[in-house]
Structure 1
Amino acid sequence: MARILNVGIAQLGPISRNESRQDVVVRLVALMEDAARMGCDLVVYPEAALTAFFPHWWIDDEDELDSWFERAMPNPAVQPLFDAARRLKVGFHLGYAELAFEDGRKRRFNTAILVGKDGEIIGKYRKIHLPGYTDRRPGDPFQNLEKRYFEVGNLGFPVWHAFGGRVGMMICNDRRWPESYRVMGLQGAELILLGYNTPVHNPAMPETDDLGNFHNQLVMQSGAYQNGTWVVGVARAGVEEGVDQIGQSCVIAPSGEVVVQCTTLGDELQVARCDLDLCNSYKTSIFNFAKHRRPEHYGLIVERTGAGDVLGR
């Protein structure tokens, strides 16, 4: 019997700087309710979905910076989303800014969680490939301060048994790096979930502005195909606090084909019927890693780890 998973991509339009978490959660619940009516098992929300994307501006005050982060998950502002998941029997993926107290100090991460149909957290991922910079750039139309506000994720790229398959997560810029997909592919990932907030304009490389949507889908399609996995990418889209962000949230099959895509730059739900067994033909033929992949002949040192092969000079 085919393993069918109905996945809803819950794209968000802009979130204003003054919009409360409670108001945002109302939007998230509305999308989840629509997804439930359409038979979804899982809803995927964007990166940092609870607030405006604050790394786009400079923040000096420590308390103000901390106010954009979640100290616990769930918390009172977000609890209605967990309650809705339990009531509707729909799981979800949610990105948010996480404030953690670990190793005797305060730490900040760009985080995503996977939540089951029972409203319980299945797994957590912290973004590894942080873009941007740490210094202030007053000449730019907006900032990209993820390297200043977040630490590099310390949880690796795990894969969880969930929703009848093997599910992994990444966040935004992670999707541009083939290692992100490959580490999960080596663990048999069949569904990779990711949210992104990607500006149309790149001040560091303005000559590529017209290629933003192309590059967005290029990396997700290649990652899906080369690892025989479904990839679900969900955007925060539209003009948010003066920053124009791409949309085109989509679901990509293990063949690399886009099977469904959002067509607006606002709150929008699209649904894909994902047959997880479609992964098998790619994983057992073209991309049968055990049979065809030969990292020991790449001219690099191969370190064997529990999460797969790590290559280095």
Structure 2
Amino acid sequence: MKSGPITVACIQMAPRFGDTDANVARSLDLIGQAADDGASLVVLPELTNTGYVFETREEALALAETVPDGPTCRAWAKIAAERSLHIVAGMTEREGSSLYNSAVVIGPEGYIGTYRKMHLWDYENLYFEPGNKGLPVFETALGAIGVAICYDGWFPETYRLLALQGADIVCVPTNWVPIPGQVAGREAMANILAMAAAHTNSLFIACADRVGTERGQAFLGQSLIVSHTGWPAAGPASRTDEDIVSAEIDLGAARRARRWNSFNEVLRDRRTDVYGEMLGSDLPRRAY
């Protein structure tokens, strides 16, 4: 793990549905801007390369790519190598006849791994298979990176299981949509959930949302980076415009800060005698 602080950037962009070449090209431009500003870890939105609102499974299948040898992964790997970056980015993945809402993790040395969205939202259930890779934590030169995608963040188990496996930061490619009952002008519910999860697990969380309206569906923007304290380190970003939010963070601080006082350490204080079997007590755990 790299000692000292790193700069994390969340890229908020507006993909155009079905225009994969233009979407990837735009993502490369914005990744370059983030790198110019010192970022070493860059997070992109959910389904960055294709857009989100599919109308048929056949449409999704036609736009999907294989990982890691498809053109989107190759383009991201090339810029990661050129700019010494780690990138976490959402894309539409095809494996045989199966489709996944996925996020790839790429480093300066190339492809590291894939996370497949476990909790599918609404019509995603018609196009994608539920993720079958569990909740992996990727050991990188920067630190231990966990990944979640959009609706995964509504499940406390997502962040807790990643924390128990030693994640220092969870990167969240997302496409947040309006939540019924939200008062005008209030922050996105997703922002509140990310702040709560960061605090209760002593994790950094970096959420890269999209903006714009696609086939009638509006998206919320408000990308943000949350400190392990639960308070934003950067953002929320614009609700309507493309944006880059970045923060200098010390991933090691999350581990050191898990001891809150003389008596309490949030992960250690779990009552595993009561609920250990429910929440992953059999997972490999790092010493804190």
Q: Distance in 2 between matches of 1:301 and 1:246?
A: 33
- Tell me the TM-score normalised to structure 1 length: 0.82
Q: Distance in 2 between matches of 1:259 and 1:157?
A: 25
Distance 1:173 1:243, change over 3 A: same
Q: Deviations over 1:76-100 (max 9, x none)?
A: 3553332122111122111111111
Contact 1:183-1:307 within 8 A present in 2 as well = no
Quote the residue 1:199 is aligned against: 177
Quote the residue 2:104 is aligned against: 113
Q: Distance in 2 between matches of 1:196 and 1:35?
A: 18
Quote the residue 1:265 is aligned against: 240
Quote the residue 2:81 is aligned against: 86
Quote the residue 2:41 is aligned against: 42
- How far did residue 277 of structure 1 move? 2.1
Quote the residue 2:214 is aligned against: 240
Please say if 1:124 is aligned against 2:114: yes
- How far did residue 122 of structure 1 move? 1.2
Please say if 1:11 is aligned against 2:6: no
Q: Deviations over 1:99-149 (max 9, x none)?
A: 113xxxx2111111110023x1112111111121xxxxxxxxxxxx11111
Opposite residue 108 of structure 1, the aligned amino acid is L
Pair member with larger Rg: 1
- How far did residue 299 of structure 1 move? 9.8
Secondary structure in 1 aligned to 2:118?
coil
Secondary structure in 2 aligned to 1:54?
coil
- How far did residue 9 of structure 1 move? 0.8
Distance 1:116 1:212, change over 3 A: farther
Quote the residue 1:29 is aligned against: 28
Q: Distance in 1 between matches of 2:25 and 2:278?
A: 50
- How far did residue 172 of structure 1 move? 0.3
Distance 1:109 1:76, change over 3 A: closer
Contact 2:211-2:218 within 8 A present in 1 as well = yes
Quote the residue 2:249 is aligned against: 274
Contact 1:251-1:260 within 8 A present in 2 as well = yes
- For structure 2, list consecutive stretches of 5 or more residues without a partner in the other structure: none
Q: Distance in 2 between matches of 1:297 and 1:85?
A: 44
Opposite residue 11 of structure 1, the aligned amino acid is Q
The correspondence of residues 208-219 of structure 1 with structure 2, limited to 5 A, is 208=182, 210=184, 213-219=187-193
- How far did residue 221 of structure 1 move? 0.6
Distance 1:54 1:212, change over 3 A: farther
Between the two proteins, the alignment pairs up a number of residues equal to: 280
Quote the residue 2:150 is aligned against: 172
Quote the residue 1:161 is aligned against: 139
Q: Deviations over 1:141-191 (max 9, x none)?
A: xxxx11111111111111121133111001000011100000011112110
74-83 vs 30-39, which deviates more? Answer: 74-83
Contact 1:296-1:302 within 8 A present in 2 as well = no
Secondary structure in 2 aligned to 1:207?
coil
Contact 2:5-2:248 within 8 A present in 1 as well = yes
Quote the residue 2:195 is aligned against: 221
Quote the residue 2:51 is aligned against: 52
- How far did residue 246 of structure 1 move? 0.3
Secondary structure in 1 aligned to 2:273?
helix
Distance 1:300 1:238, change over 3 A: same
Quote the residue 1:311 is aligned against: none
- Tell me the TM-score normalised to structure 2 length: 0.89
Secondary structure in 2 aligned to 1:272?
strand
- For structure 1, list consecutive stretches of 5 or more residues without a partner in the other structure: 133-144, 309-313
Contact 1:25-1:78 within 8 A present in 2 as well = no
Q: Distance in 1 between matches of 2:114 and 2:130?
A: 14
Q: Distance in 2 between matches of 1:96 and 1:117?
A: 19
